[in-house]
Chains A and B, each alone.
Chain A
Amino acid sequence: QKEVEQNSGPLSVPEGAIASLNCTYSDRGSQSFFWYRQYSGKSPELIMSIYSNGDKEDGRFTAQLNKASQYVSLLIRDSQPSDSATYLCAVNPWGRGNNRLAFGKGNQVVVIP
């Protein structure tokens, strides 16, 4: 089993709708969770970090963490064409040091005007 899995294929959403992305992880001891946005040809940009169970909201973005179920999700409200990008889920597995991240393969989001 991969450390971080993002299984859904490209996600197309109409402008103004909610985009929902899911991510599961294998290491139950993981402590830190991140969502990065990567535009084509650019490096990843940190969108959200979450460390405790529940929801964390930042603008149009909401991260949800459920450690018991080992998943973390990202909601993008009022999706805009500029949100079209690949979204990477990253987890800091326990025992890997406080800095190392395991990445999912990413989910491509396409917002249709």
Chain B
Amino acid sequence: GAVVSQHPSWVICKSGTSVKIECRSLDFQATTMFWYRQFPKQSLMLMATSNEGSKATYEQGVEKDKFLINHASLTLSTLTVTSAHPEDSSFYICSASQPGLSGNTIYFGEGSWLTVV
């Protein structure tokens, strides 16, 4: 089946620094990837849609200057949390869409735990 890989799985950073998370589709090309954030015991919250070769589309309330998204190739999207603060500590998950005969299927990466201290 399709595999979406995220790296790193967990990261601890100091407040004020920036952290980059990578999302790769390993066996298919993904023109669109998605970035989610999930706080403990809450549902997934879509942050932005990452479009290959163009600017990301951010959801309302998500600061585009704080959460930088780059989708430079059909298999890689990156999320950079800039000037991280403790309230940015969360579980960040990417997903990618694999085309199929019946429709597209969304697969998730393993997720990245970010802790800002």
Contacts of B104 in A (CB 8 A): 32, 92, 98-99
Most chain B CB atoms below 10 A, which of A88, A92, A100, A105: A100
Q: B110 contacts A88, CB within 8 Å?
A: no
Interface of A, secondary structure class, is loop
Taking a contact as CB atoms under 8 Å apart, the answer to whether B43 and A101 are in contact is no
Contacting residues, chain B, for A42 (C-beta < 8 A): 110-111
Interface flags for A53-65 (1: CB within 8 Å of B; 0: not) read 0000000000000
Contact pick for B43, options A46, A51, A97, A103, CB 8 Å? A103
| B26-54 contact mask (Cβ, 8 Å, vs A): 1 or 0 | 00000010100000001110100100000
Nearest to B6 among chain A residues (CB) is A43
Task: Give Cα A104–Cα B43 distance, bound, in whole angstroms.
Answer: 7
B34 near A100: Cβ-Cβ < 8 Å: yes
Residue pair B49, A100 in contact (C-beta under 8 Å): yes
Q: Which of A27-42 contact B (CB under 8 A)?
A: 31-32, 34, 36, 41-42
Report the bound CA distance from A35 to B37 in whole Å.
19
Q: How far is the CA of A90 from the CA of B108 in the complex (A)?
A: 13
CB distance from A86 to the nearest CB of B (A): 9
- Determine whether B93 belongs to the interface, using a CB cutoff of 8 Å to chain A: yes
CB-nearest residue of chain A relative to B107? Answer: A46
In the assembled complex, 10 residue pairs joining A and B whose CB atoms fall closer than 8 Å, in A order, are A31-B103, A32-B105, A46-B106, A49-B103, A49-B105, A51-B102, A98-B97, A99-B97, A101-B95, A101-B106
